[in-house]
């Protein structure tokens, strides 16, 4: 074993960063044995140096992150500060000054991953980011390495614990969205400002990263169709139950049947209770990968939190340190397919549409005519009415999303349709 330690700088010491530092200390001997050299934490960049951080030598604390990554003797920089800047500049500066990087920054990777990979390649450094996608769940490395000899066709999963907790509570307790969000906040699953989670931004960033790796093409967060869960109601949950389904916020990345394009989307969807994703409870994550040779693979576990995320960070740290000792680098960006990302309108989906309609003869015929004119086939219809008011629930067969959207717009123009109570896609068949 080499006695000279590999030097590590840590950018950020919040929930995840503090756990990274703690585990580096408590598992130092094991890490050294697995790597072939000891690992030494030589600096921790923070915004508030006066905050007490148990287990971390105050002499390591600095507010000058730039100076830390410019030292020139750092082997690996761990970036867990998040956001676009200054993280992007700090990472590229680390590459320029001889350090490889382990990051948990999904927003930056989904926005500017290509440039970061290019910088890492230019300077001969590693860029690893397992923790950016699903906490402790191994996804990036299986896609980049274990399935490198296979053809991945679809990635389908629950990649945001906050929204899964909220939808699960709405399903199991009958709570409304606001009530379930309040409980998630009280338990620490939701931030004070939950927008990134409940509006789907967090899941969209992860979908962009997963799609890029799975399909060997460049997918940015702006390419991902995104819908959140704020419009999901208790009535939607009840309708799903009547269909033998539950509602989940899904990240779906697919290769087109002809192989000429890909799609990436995040939205709430009804999935059958028989589907394994339907049983993913509370704040857990799970992801299905479908490949030609491997078939269906499922990855399940805690997708967030200090310790789970730190586990993924430290797994990357061990891999990068091994590469350093071997004077090698691991897999970089693979974007050779250069496949275009198709817009949501071209995606073929099913819809569950709930309409408030007049309770009189001929309404169903009018509605069916609209579907026929738009080229959308109806799978099932459920109608009930009382005292001049009625509801009509239509579940379609698969059709281009643009045709389904056009159908909804045409339905709104019917005099007999009082309103569209809810629209939700149906997935997971």
What is the CA angle 188-205-212, rounded to 5? 140
Collapsed DSSP state (helix, strand, coil) of residue 60? helix
In terms of Cα–Cα distance, which of 101, 87, 145, 134 is closest to 311? 134
How far the first Cα of the chain sits from its last, in Å, is 52
- 104 Cβ neighbours under 8 A, 6+ residues apart: 16, 79, 80, 82, 129, 131, 132, 309, 312, 313
Stated length of the chain: 429
Of the listed 106, 206, 220, 324, which one is catalytic? 206
Our answer to whether residue 106 is catalytic in this structure is no
Residue environment code for 256-281, b if the CB has 16+ CB neighbours within 10 A, otherwise e:
beeeebbbbbbbbbbbbeebebbebe
Helices (H) and strands (E) in the chain, counts: 15, 17
* CA atoms of 20 and 12, how far apart (whole Å): 10
* CA atoms of 247 and 233, how far apart (whole Å): 10
* CA atoms of 424 and 419, how far apart (whole Å): 15
In terms of Cα–Cα distance, which of 279, 283, 281, 277 is closest to 252? 277
Catalytic center residues? 206
């Amino acid at each position: 074993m080499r006695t000279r330690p590999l030097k590590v700088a840590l950018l950020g010491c919040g929930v995840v960063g503090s756990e990274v530092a703690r585990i580096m200390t408590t598992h130092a001997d094991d890490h050294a044995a697995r790597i072939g050299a000891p690992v030494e934490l030589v600096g921790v960049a923070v915004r508030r140096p006066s905050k007490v951080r148990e287990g971390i030598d105050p002499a390591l604390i600095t507010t000058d992150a730039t100076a830390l990554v410019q030292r020139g003797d750092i082997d690996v920089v761990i970036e867990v500060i998040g956001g676009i800047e200054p993280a992007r500049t700090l990472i590229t500066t680390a590459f320029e000054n001889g350090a490889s990087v382990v990051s948990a920054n999904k927003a930056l990777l989904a926005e500017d991953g290509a440039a970061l990979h290019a910088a890492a390649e230019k300077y001969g450094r590693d860029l690893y980011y397992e923790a950016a996608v699903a906490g402790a769940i191994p996804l990036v490395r299986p896609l980049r390495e274990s399935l490198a000899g296979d053809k991945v066709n679809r990635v389908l999963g629950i990649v945001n614990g906050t929204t899964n907790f909220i939808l699960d509570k709405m399903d199991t307790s009958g709570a409304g969205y606001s009530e379930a969000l309040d409980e998630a906040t009280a338990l620490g699953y939701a931030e004070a400002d939950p927008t990134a989670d409940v509006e789907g931004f967090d899941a969209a960033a992860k979908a962009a990263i997963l799609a890029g790796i799975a399909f060997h093409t460049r997918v940015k967060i702006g390419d991902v169709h995104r819908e959140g869960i704020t419009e999901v109601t208790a009535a939607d949950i009840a309708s799903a139950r009547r269909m033998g389904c539950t509602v989940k916020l899904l990240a779906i990345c697919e290769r087109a049947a002809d192989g000429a394009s890909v799609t990436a989307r995040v939205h709430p969807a009804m999935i059958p209770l028989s589907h394994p994703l339907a049983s993913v409870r509370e704040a857990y994550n799970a992801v299905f990968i479908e490949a030609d040779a491997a078939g269906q693979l499922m990855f399940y576990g805690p997708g967030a939190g200090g310790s789970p995320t730190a586990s993924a960070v430290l797994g990357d740290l061990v891999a990068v340190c091994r590469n350093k000792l071997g004077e090698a680098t691991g897999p970089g960006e693979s974007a050779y397919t250069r496949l275009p990302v198709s817009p949501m309108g071209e995606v073929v989906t099913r819809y569950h549409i709930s309409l408030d309609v007049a309770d009189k003869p001929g309404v169903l015929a009018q509605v069916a005519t609209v579907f026929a004119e738009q080229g959308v086939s109806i799978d099932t219809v459920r109608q009930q009415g009382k005292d001049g008011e009625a509801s009509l629930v239509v579940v379609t067969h698969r059709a281009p999303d643009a045709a389904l959207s056009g159908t909804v717009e045409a339905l709104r123009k019917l005099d007999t349709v009082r309103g569209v109570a809810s629209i939700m896609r149906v997935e997971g068949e």
